[in-house]
């Protein structure tokens, strides 16, 4: 994933930045210590949610048999209920994340989306102060070294219809905690009409996150225990 580890969000007041830094250290430790056997539940919940929500993206109907098969061959969504693709429509483009070693691995989800006919995108991290750029990923593409120890596909730059947002921490108001570079906040602010779903192991929940002036709350967060939706 995008992991700008070394600096706090430039728009946060000092007291919020300090509070976030303390929580960030706790959340990194919690993420590293989690029981990874539960990660598959997060992926299964993401698949179920994507199979239903991607039908409703304006002007972006799916062309593949959405939800017809998951990585384990199970049916996640009845394809007979899918809206027929419009003649001028294109497959939905979903921005995923290529993980660092300690993070939740979305690779199986990327392959599942590709099998369903979706366009899978991965972030290419620009210099600090800029929003993310998303490049097309295919199973046979070349992965190049990016910033912050990330891997980036060599595909073309594309605009996503849905962004899956990794969460270092989250609360039950839809607030999220990242690594501190503000990349996803800038990206989501620049794409107000793009769908967004946060995801994290349930161990990453905190009682309350301090919200800075540029923080972008999420309408939906998926964990291994539940899917949280907010107004």
This model's pTM is above 0.75: yes
- The answer as to whether 154 is a domain residue is yes
Residue 138 has pLDDT above 80, yes or no: yes
Between these two residues, 86 and 114, which has the higher pLDDT value? 114
Asked whether residue 15 is marked as a ligand-binding residue, the answer is no
For residue 100, what pLDDT band results from cuts at 50, 70 and 90? confident
Coil/strand/helix, residue 137: strand
| Rounded mean pLDDT, 213-223 | 90
- The answer as to whether 6 is a domain residue is no
Coil/strand/helix, residue 106: coil
- The answer as to whether 80 is a domain residue is no
Alpha helices, DSSP H, located in 116-171: none
| Rounded mean pLDDT, 188-193 | 92
Residue 74 has pLDDT above 50, yes or no: no
Asked whether residue 174 is marked as a ligand-binding residue, the answer is no
Q: Give 140-189 pLDDT, tens digit per residue.
A: 999 999 887 889 999 999 999 999 999 999 999 999 999 888 899 999 99
Q: For the chain, what is the domain count?
A: 1
Asked whether residue 176 is marked as a ligand-binding residue, the answer is yes
Asked whether residue 178 is marked as a ligand-binding residue, the answer is yes
| Rounded mean pLDDT, 22-47 | 95
- The answer as to whether 54 is a domain residue is yes
Q: By residue range, what is the domain housing residue 123?
A: 14-64+91-229
Asked whether residue 177 is marked as a ligand-binding residue, the answer is yes
- Phi/psi class of residue 84: alpha, beta or left (left: φ > 0; alpha: ψ in -120 to 50)? beta
Coil/strand/helix, residue 220: strand
For residue 10, what pLDDT band results from cuts at 50, 70 and 90? low
- The answer as to whether 223 is a domain residue is yes
Decide: 133 and 123 in contact? Cβ < 8 Å. Answer: yes
Between these two residues, 58 and 226, which has the higher pLDDT value? 226
- Identify the pLDDT of residue 222: 96
The Cα 137–Cα 147 span in angstroms is: 17
Burial class (CB in 10 A: 0-12, 13-18, 19+), 97: buried
Which element (helix H / strand E) includes 2?
none
Asked whether residue 36 is marked as a ligand-binding residue, the answer is no
For residue 89, what pLDDT band results from cuts at 50, 70 and 90? low
Asked whether residue 183 is marked as a ligand-binding residue, the answer is yes
Asked whether residue 199 is marked as a ligand-binding residue, the answer is no
Asked whether residue 179 is marked as a ligand-binding residue, the answer is yes
- The answer as to whether 72 is a domain residue is no
Asked whether residue 59 is marked as a ligand-binding residue, the answer is no
Residue 80 has pLDDT above 80, yes or no: no
What CATH number did the domain enclosing 20 receive? 3.40.50.10420
- Identify the pLDDT of residue 64: 41
Decide: 111 and 41 in contact? Cβ < 8 Å. Answer: no
């Amino acid at each position: 994933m995008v992991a700008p580890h070394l600096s706090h969000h430039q728009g946060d007041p000092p007291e919020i930045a300090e509070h976030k830094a303390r929580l960030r250290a706790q959340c990194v430790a919690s993420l590293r210590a989690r029981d990874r056997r539960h990660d598959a539940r997060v992926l299964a919940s993401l698949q179920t949610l994507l199979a239903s929500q991607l039908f409703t993206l304006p002007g972006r109907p799916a062309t593949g048999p959405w939800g017809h098969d998951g990585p384990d061959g199970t049916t996640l969504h009845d394809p007979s209920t899918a809206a027929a693709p419009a003649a001028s429509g294109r497959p939905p483009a979903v921005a995923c994340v290529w993980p660092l070693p300690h993070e939740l691995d979305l690779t199986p989800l990327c392959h599942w989306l590709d099998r369903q006919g979706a366009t899978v995108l991965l972030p290419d991290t620009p210099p600090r102060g800029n929003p993310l750029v998303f490049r097309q990923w295919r199973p046979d593409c070349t992965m190049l070294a990016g910033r912050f120890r990330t891997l980036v596909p060599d595909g073309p730059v594309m605009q996503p219809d849905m962004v899956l947002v990794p969460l270092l921490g989250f609360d039950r108001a839809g607030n999220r905690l990242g690594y501190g570079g503000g990349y996803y906040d800038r990206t989501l602010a620049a794409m107000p009409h793009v769908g967004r779903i946060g995801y994290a192991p349930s161990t990453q929940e905190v009682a309350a996150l301090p919200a800075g002036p540029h923080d972008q709350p999420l309408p939906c967060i998926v964990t291994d225990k539940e899917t949280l939706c907010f107004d």
